[in-house]
Amino acid sequence: MFRTIRTVVGCAFAALMIASSQAQTQWPTKPVRIIVTQTAGNATDIIARLVTERLTQNTGQQFIVENRPGAANVIGATAAARSAPDGYNFMFGTAAIYTTNLYTIKNLAYDPAKDFDMVALIARGVFMIVAHPSLPASNLREVVALARKEPGTLNIATDQPRNFTGLIAAWINKSTGANITTVPYVNMPQGVQDVLNNRVQLSILALPAAGPHIASGALKAIAVSSAQPIPGFEHVRPIADEIPGFDFFGWFNFSAPAGTPKDIIARFNAETGKVLDDPAFQKRISDMGFYSFGSPSIAKAEEFLKKELVDWEKVVDALGIEPQ
């Protein structure tokens, strides 16, 4: 009797393992939906489509981008969190979904830690402090010295105070005592125009937006938000030179609604790795001003997120920002 029971249990277990393996091997068997939390045509959307085009080619199934922008990524993130965890619904999102929104938005409609399973880190992008060429400063130390010498004379264009560039500007003021006046813009391209026309002296821009203006000489680079200089801009010193430990950047990743089968997540991760390991893909996003995280690892993505949550919580607490 015992042998019979053991044999039945063993067969059942083997059947489950085979079924699981087959699910991973056969996935996907129908189109896969990718919710992108920002508008079509911006950097997040472009990178998502570059990856999904490759995934479609490699798997033979359509990976369909569905743009769900609005409310600081909350609309798309909420829709993704409430999607069926069946292996055919995923999200391509930004750092704000998992980090700053948690600390700046009251009664957030989703729980970043509980509602998503990490799939793969894809790319990251740094921010540049830029200035009108007429500003008599060439690095952050000189900007801070000028702001202290002539209080109230310097302005810096950012997006909203609770978004990345607004938080970076506030952290610089807090850490250096510069007290540069922050000018928030709902329409950031207008902020760029105001700096180009010297109505505002400084701005903080993602590298893809800053790069062309720096290359043309219309703006000059003051500092970069990463802890180390970046390729192509080695002459631009990090903010960390003045604020030790400063290392902030935007990033993109794939995640799944919590409860998505682990074997499917592992397969998605592996397929994403094939895309990220392709030198042509790496060059394509590098030309856009973004940098690949390299071959993806689910554990690496989970550990990275934990660190980001701790880092941003410290910043938000230090700035005294309360959720609204």
Instruction: Give the CATH number for residue 153.
Output: 3.40.190.10
Most trustworthy range by pLDDT among 28-32, 158-162, 226-230: 28-32
The order of strands in the sheet holding 116-125 is: 63-67, 32-36, 89-94, 250-257, 116-125, 291-292
Say how far apart CA 165 and CA 160 lie, in whole Å: 8
Domain end marker among 241, 271, 299: 241
Domain co-membership, 100 together with 7: yes
Asked if 263 and 178 sit in the same domain, the reply is: no
120: left (phi over 0), alpha (psi -120 to 50) or beta: beta
- Position 11 pLDDT exceeds 70: no
CA-CA-CA-CA dihedral for 205, 112, 118, 293, to nearest 10: 20
This prediction has a pTM of: 0.85
Q: How far apart are CA 89 and CA 64, in angstroms?
A: 10
The reply to whether 222 and 257 lie within a common domain is no
Domain boundary among 241, 270, 298: 241
Question: In the chain, which ranges are continuous DSSP H helix?
Answer: 2-26, 43-59, 74-81, 95-98, 100-104, 140-149, 164-176, 188-196, 207-216, 262-276, 279-288, 298-319
Q: Could you tell me the pLDDT band of residue 108, with boundaries at 50, 70 and 90?
A: very high
pLDDT average, residue stretch 94-117: 93
Same domain, 253 and 309: yes
Residue 23 has pLDDT above 80, yes or no: no
Residues 6+ apart with CB under 8 A from 140: 129, 172, 222, 223, 237, 239, 241, 242
In the chain, how many domains are there? 2
Q: Are residues 142 and 207 in the same domain?
A: yes
Out of 190, 213, 241, pick the residue that ends a domain: 241
Q: How far is CA 287 from the centre of its chain?
A: 17
Give the mean pLDDT of 168-186.
Answer: 94
- In contact, 238 and 168? CB cutoff 8 Å: no
Q: Are residue 82 and residue 165 in the same domain, yes or no?
A: no
pLDDT of 2: 43
Examine residue 28 and say whether the peptide bond preceding it is cis (omega within 30 degrees of 0): yes
Per this entry, what is the length of the chain?
324
- Whether residue 118 is found in the same domain as residue 187: no
Domain boundaries, position 145: 127-241
Binned at pLDDT 50, 70 and 90, residue 153 comes out as very high
DSSP symbol at 289: T
